[in-house]
Chains A and B, each alone.
Chain A
Amino acid sequence: MAHSYLNSLFFVPIVVVAAPAFSADYLTIPEAQALIFDKAAVFTERPTLLSGDAKDQIKKLSGVRQRQDNQPIWKVEKDGQFLGWFFVDDVVGKHEYITYAVGVSPQGEVLGLEVLSYRETHGGEVREVSWRSQFHGKTLKDPFKLDEDVSNISGATLSCRNLLDGVKRLLVIHQLFLTQSA
């Protein structure tokens, strides 16, 4: 029977045909800050520790879990003028977490979205301007439905949905905890 097991080696050559896929850390936090706001803007870190009750509130209003207790947030100013808030967040991808950054205006409007790291088989298009620009101007009044106000990317539906839900969750955090903080 031993030679039967050796025959399994017949299939080993298929390992050499693995194809490259999307897998990269694309941006640092300072690079994302400069892209969404301005190189000259001043970013003041405001670590936000969320209690259990706060996380429950976030889930109730956004429809998704707030997994992290500590949400990285920066207050953004330029020449003494308050420009808004800069968030860094992780959402669940198919295999790994997707790290992204969102800029939010003082009024709770999305100013921009940048993908810092994406390591999934399909869906590298989440980094393309044409897809990310669909988030510009989004507020909590929008439906936040995939293929309704943001298009789906085939093969990466879970990633797209979780990014969409993640942005909505950050807008809820803004509404609950940041509107009085400026």
Chain B
Amino acid sequence: MGKSTLHRFNLVALSLATLGLSQTALAGEDLFGYVKGAEAMPKDAMELYQKVTFRNDKGQGTYRGINYETELEYGMSDKFAVSGSAKFMSLDTSGLIIDGYLPKEKEIGFKASGLELGASYMFLSPAKDDIGLSMTTSLDYDWVDTHSGQDKDTLSLELGLQTQKYMLEGELIWVGNLGMESTYADRAPLNNLPEDFDWPTDPEMEIELKLGTGLSYRFAPNWFISAEVLYETEFETEVGQERWSFFAGPSIHYGSADWWATLTWLPQLSGGGEQYEGQKDTGLHLIEKTEQEVRLKVAFNF
């Protein structure tokens, strides 16, 4: 962590000061890896989640990142839930240097990388009303850059809207998501950088927009198969639209009374914006994203 302890303390203090606006995942059961439903968990219910996301391949050299998130969610009322999570990561990158983003080869075995606090509120119930509607907010503080593994303080506030519709008495489920994330980021200086290598240490501001939709079908008791599409784009202080990507992929979900699990494969189908020098596949954004992600979620109900 290249920044001073005092600086980090200030960021954490800011996070806590704005705690009233936060949320991570949406209540209850995730049939999808990335898009979320609109159902709330009941009052006093608790759920423990473990998420593991494997990010693989930037088209050149070796790039393998694993993000871990352990989250606890609690139903404050039948409509309002709060959550907190701890984040960890592993990274192995070699044979690829990206000016401004990936300054050095890096290998991280396992490291704590961030904290997240959140809340969700359900306005309309998908099972009772014609369509479900919920809002989520989350406050995320990271001290490691998930892309490069370098020290970087990042504070993000995310707001999201989720819609959900049950069809065929709940055997077919549609969800739609809209999200916006504002990020303040501050990199630690690095020594021994290549000549003319850009590694700005001035604070940056980024705004990311996310649109997602998914359809899930219960093909047998306890078993759901799903497909989701996700569009993400990011705007940054100096470059305008820095990146955009379309992702789409399937999920398989098993849910029972006590626990559930979801496995998702999400390849990047197309993307654009900034590209690194020598990038072969010019139809994807591979600086901050990878060619594919695989995510496993496991959760237990209390």
Contact = CB atoms under 8 A, between A and B. Distances in A.
B256 interface: yes
Given A4-B92, A18-B259, A23-B258, A157 B125 contact: yes
A10 B50 CA distance: 11
Contacts of A119: 256-257
B221 A155 contact: no
B180 interface: no
Nearest to A67: B169
A8 interface: yes
A117 to B, nearest CB: 11
Interface stretch (A69-77, A88-96, A103-111, A134-142): A88-96
B128 A147 contact: yes
Nearest to B50: A11
Interface stretch (A28-36, A50-58, A158-166, A171-179): A158-166
B169 to A, nearest CB: 4
A44 to B, nearest CB: 30
B42 interface: yes
A144 to B, nearest CB: 13
B257 A95 contact: yes
A97 interface: yes
Contact of A20 (B50, B52, B68, B258): B258
A19 B301 contact: yes
A7 interface: yes
Contacts of A97: 221
A92 to B, nearest CB: 4
Contacts, number: 107
A4 B109 contact: yes
A92 B217 CA distance: 13
Contact of B170 (A17, A20, A92): A92
A1 B54 CA distance: 13
A64 interface: yes
Contacts of A7: 90, 109-110
B258 A21 contact: yes
A154 interface: yes
Contacts of B109: 3-4, 7
A122 interface: yes
B255 interface: yes
A15 interface: yes
Contacts of B88: 10
Contact of A121 (B107, B170, B301): B301
B127 A21 contact: no
Interface string B253-270: 001111100000000000
Given A11-B68, A152-B128, A162-B170, 14 more contacts: A1-B90, A8-B52, A10-B68, A14-B300, A15-B300, A17-B302, A18-B300, A64-B169, A93-B170, A95-B255, A95-B257, A146-B128, A155-B78, A158-B170
Interface of A: 1, 3-5, 7-8, 10-11, 14-15, 17-23, 64-65, 91-97, 119-122, 146-147, 152, 154-158, 160-162, 165
14 contacts: A4-B66, A4-B108, A18-B259, A21-B301, A23-B257, A92-B171, A95-B221, A96-B221, A122-B45, A157-B125, A157-B128, A160-B127, A162-B169, A162-B170
Interface of B: 29, 39, 41-43, 45, 48, 50, 52, 64, 66, 68, 70, 75, 78, 88, 90, 92, 107-110, 125, 127-128, 166, 168-171, 218, 221-222, 255-259, 298, 300-302
